[in-house]
Structure 1
Amino acid sequence: MIDGVARGLRAASCALALLATSAVAAPDAAGAWRDAFQSSPADYDVATAAPPPVTGTLRSRFAVAVAGSRIRIRVSNEDGAEALAIAAASVGKAAGAGFDAAPGTLKVLTFGGRRAIVAPPGAAVLSDPVDLPVAVGAALVASIRAPAGVRLQPSGGVTMAAADGDQTLADKLAGERRVAGRPPVSGASVLTRRPPRIIVALGDSITDGNRSRPDQPRGWPEALDRRLAARADGAPRAVVNAGIAGNRVLATSWGDAALVRFDRDVARIDGVSHVVILEGINDIGAGGNDRPLETADLIAGYRQLIARARARGIKAVMGTLTPFAGSFYFSPAREAQRQAVNRWIRTSGEPDAVIDFDAATRDPAAPGRLRPAYDCGDHLHPNAQGYRAMGDAIDLRLFD
């Protein structure tokens, strides 16, 4: 009996994976589907126990990087150890700065024509499309009701709203409380008449963008996206953020290693032309996988990411690692590794292009440190001004 259930779950997972791959890629007379938002799924290998599952309605807020007429959302259980049962779901335009929906905009979401669906462990599910015209940068709210609960780990770095019962169609959640974790709504795609080329930002928390409020811009990828959207010339471009706080290139701990998640978070996306890789400071700060980190191993990991990108026709852009002197990670030996990695990024000629984030954020008086005006206070992560400086430092011609 157990073997039969396992085979059934594996078959369902394969079928759902096929749906997630084919549905977005399917041609449409009204345009093409493009990923407009991503929050890469992540589990966290942390010592603290996760809080109890969140039951009732769970609502997240996000902005889309693509304009269009229809939308569908992606719900992930790819890192789940148990099946995720969804009894109801909705999407609509956000109102104000919190988790309220603009009146009259919430749409019922279905999955294969049904309101309820079960996502087996390891699977993601796509909703059916709904009519919801959106502009570039439009803020949306998406809700799911999970009767058995959703397990969230507080290390996820994203603030969401939770409320009792089925409030997926409520403009304002009654008894709303804030929860932190990695949102199960892991993506959204938009049907657009002008399908842009997609730039994926692959990185850690400096890419994911630390923020204290859900309406704040997340980080440098969003700053880059705003600049690209404002550009009048050239083909349309959009930036999808695939950052995970705490992530590493070589080791799986806070989310799957970049080498593990590359296909899921980058290569599967329709229309992706470039990937910007800014990752490795956590490899240096936390060491290797059960052994001291060798700089050559990290560079070998970068070479694999570049090779896998090019095998899919994707240009690999490398970002230099930003300063971290004064942070809890710092030591002179680790700084020497950062400098060695940055020399390779700048001089090897192996990436298709280089963005010098180090030069954009370092303190001219103490180059191993973040510029004080850009430091959030932990000497590792930029603040909002620092993220803007990173986004402004990027030559838009890299993506022509």
Structure 2
Amino acid sequence: MGGFKTKHAFALSLFALSLASTASAKQAQWVDAFQSSPADYNLELSADAEMPEPAKSFLTERPPVSGTLRVRFAVVTGGDQVRIRISNEEGATPLSLKAATVGRAGEGFDMVKGSMHPLTFGGRRDAMIPVGAPLLSDPVDLPVSKGTALVVSTTLAQPLQLKPLGATMMSVAPGDQTGNERLENSQSIPGRPIVSGALVRTNHSPRVVVALGDSITDGDRVTLGAGRGWPEELARRLDSSNSGTALVILNAGLGGNRVLTAGAGKSALSRLDRDALNIKGVTHIILFEGINDIGMSGKSMYGDNPPLSHEDLISGYRQIIARAHVKGVKVVMGTIMPFAGAEYYSPEKEATRQAANQWIRSSNEPDAVIDFDAATRDPKKPSYLRQDLDSGDHLHPNAAGYKAMADAVALQVLN
């Protein structure tokens, strides 16, 4: 009888241990902590395009990049391990990765001494990334907190045709310097990095809001790599309030992006699942796109394109809302901001913007609305950005403009 009791007690102990182990495994999970939407750029300037030289050079092809590429970013949530995602989703040929490392960021693109970890992929330092695919690293024991800045270095076997658009500043240095804490003979270049994301392992999975937009969401015209766009400003507002503890903002902005048409990466309709709906824990999308659909339609510096009606744009918005609602995700829409004075402005395009904004404000089809237009327009000339919020190109806000956009968000719409 005593033997039966002993066996019974032992079995119960094993069962309890099994339950505890299962509960622990369920608590620890991988969540997205950084995102940089992959993109290839197929935008071509018309021969008679008039642009300021810095902007024009961003649209000019440059020689393929070789050596070591290093990118810096901050994670939006903390955990005890990290994994890095490298993308060839928009590539035309396979990518042969020779080596990669991750570590905590120091000054600029330097790595904090002693924090470097080699990245492996199925146990190997090198990897071949097929066309159209991402590559996820093995877990790395690198504890991070919300806001921790990391640097990731990669060296490819072949030069990379890295186009200058993309609004991310990277550092490039000759040879394989992935093992260097400080890159030697480096230079900074803008572009879209092949590092497309970071995941952390955490016991506290946050709710996620994805900001889906174009260069205004990506943070264009603020110091590249500084992380001062309106989604980052909104995250700072959340952090300073009680609402910020279990809610994070992932920036899925993409310079030049359009709702309906590819060219600056896949259209918003095409990348919606990858960049927003498939992200673990997403509860809201802040959709703020449309100005490039309007501006690039008809005749512009990007050539002669088919005209666009506000009904076309609204049809795209409705599809995004419908697909999000099927997944149980709310869509908060931002009104399109003024752009009079921008290179691709015209009175006809302004009428399209006004009609689209009227639908956003009055249709009741989005779950909520953020009136970015009202927050940034000049009250005396409402087709223009306020002068004190204008970066100078009459399209992108400056740092004060991004803060004004973030301040226009009523935090309760993210409940």
TM-score, normalising length: structure 1:
0.90
Q: Give the drift of 1:49.
A: 6.3
Q: Please give the secondary structure, in 2, of the residue aligned with 1:397.
A: helix
| 1:156 CA drift (Å) | 2.0
**Structure 2 SS opposite 1:55:** coil
Cα distance in 1 for partners of 2:244, 2:34 equals 22
* Distance (whole Å) between structure 2 residues aligned to residue 181 and residue 396 of structure 1: 32
Which one of the candidate residues 353, 362, 384 is aligned to 1:369? 384
1:63 aligned to which of 42, 65, 74: 74
For the pair shown, which has the larger CA radius of gyration, 1 or 2? 2
Q: Which residue of 2 aligns with 1:176?
A: 186
2-structure distance, mates of 1:294, 1:230: 41
Q: Which residue of 2 aligns with 1:201?
A: 211
Matched, 1:380 2:395: yes
Residue 375 to residue 28, structure 1, CA distance change in 2 (3 Å): farther
Q: Which amino acid aligns with 1:142?
A: V
Between 1:192-201 and 1:232-241, the stretch displaced more is 232-241
User: Alignment partner of 1:377: what SS?
Assistant: coil
CA RMSD of aligned residues (A): 1.6
2: distance between equivalents of 1:210 and 1:235? 27
CA distance in 2, matches of 1:208, 1:218: 9
Aligned to 1:44: 41
Cα distance between partner residues in 2 of 1:70 and 1:58: 23
Quote the offset at 1:229 in angstroms: 2.4
Give the 3 Å change call, closer, same or farther, for CA 44–63 of structure 1 in structure 2.
same
Task: Give how far 1:302 is off.
Answer: 0.1
Pick one of 82, 87, 95 that aligns with 1:76: 87
Q: What residue number does 2:290 align with?
A: 280
Per-residue Cα deviation, 1:52-106 (whole angstroms, up to 9, x for no partner): 321121100111111222111110000100100111111111112x111111111
Task: Please give the residue correspondences for 1:95-114 in structure 2 after superposition, counting only pairs within 5 Å.
Answer: 95-96=106-107, 98-114=108-124
CA shift in 2, pair 1:177/1:233, >3 Å: closer
How many Å separate the matches in 2 of 1:123 and 1:215?
A: 25
Q: Indicate conservation of the 8 Å contact 2:167/2:224, yes or no.
A: no
Say if 1:152 and 1:180, in contact at 8 Å, map to a contact too: no
**1:301 matched to 2:298:** no
Q: Which moved more, 1:283-292 or 1:78-87?
A: 283-292
Gap change, CA 1:212 and 1:278, over 3 Å in 2 = closer
1:320 is matched by which residue type in structure 2?
T
Question: For the residues of structure 2 that align with 1:217 and 1:41, how far apart are their CA atoms?
Answer: 18
Q: Partner of 2:388: helix, strand, or coil? A: helix
Offset of residue 218 of structure 1 = 3.7
Rounded to whole Å, the distance in 2 between the matches of 1:271 and 1:246 is: 27
2:175 aligned partner: 165
Within 5 Å, give how 1:141-160 maps onto structure 2: 141-160=151-170
Give, as a single letter, the amino acid of the residue that structure 2 aligns with 1:116: D
Q: Distance in 2 between matches of 1:151 and 1:329?
A: 28
Would you say 1:91 and 2:135 are equivalent positions?
no
Counterpart of 1:270 in structure 2 is: 280
User: Which has the larger share of strand?
Assistant: 1
Whether the aligned pair in 1 keeps the contact of 2:212 and 2:289 (CA below 8 Å) is yes
CA distance in 2, matches of 1:294, 1:340: 9
CA contact (8 A) 2:28 2:203 kept: yes
AA of the residue aligned to 1:135: S
Paired with 2:343 and 2:25, the residues of 1 have a C-alpha distance of 51
Q: What is the aligned partner in structure 1 of residue 247 from structure 2? A: 237
Q: Is the 8 A contact 1:200 1:239 kept in 2?
A: yes
* 1:32 partner letter: Q
1:357 to 372, 376, 393: 372
Show the counterpart of 1:346: 361
**TM-score, with normalisation over the residues of structure 2?**
0.87
What is the SS of the residue equivalent to 2:403?
helix
Which of 337, 345, 355 aligns to 1:330? It is 345
The alignment of Structure 1 onto Structure 2 pairs a total of residues equal to 373
Deviation at 1:366, TM superposition (A): 1.4
Matches within 5 A, 1:132-143: 132-143=142-153
Whole-Å separation in 2 of the counterparts to 1:234 and 1:52: 43
How far did residue 394 of structure 1 move? 0.7
Structure 2 residue matching 1:71: 3-state secondary structure: strand
Match of 2:29 among 29, 32, 35: 32
- Name 1:222's counterpart in structure 2: 232
Contact 2:168 2:225 in 1 (8 A): no
Residue 164 of structure 1 and its aligned partner are, at CA, apart by 1.4
Deviates more, 1:50-59 or 1:336-345: 50-59
Find the counterpart in structure 2 of residue 24 from structure 1.
none
> Take 2:221 and 2:183, find their aligned partners in 1: how far apart are those partners?
22
Identical pairs, percent:
55
User: Partner residue of 2:15?
Assistant: none
Asked if structure 2 preserves the Cα contact closer than 8 Å seen for 1:211 and 1:218, the reply is no
Structure 1: runs of 5 or more not aligned:
1-26
Mapped contact 1:87–1:117 kept (Cα < 8 A) = yes
CA distance in 2, matches of 1:70, 1:340: 48
CA distance in 2, matches of 1:233, 1:56: 43
Contact 1:30 1:191 in 2 (8 A): no
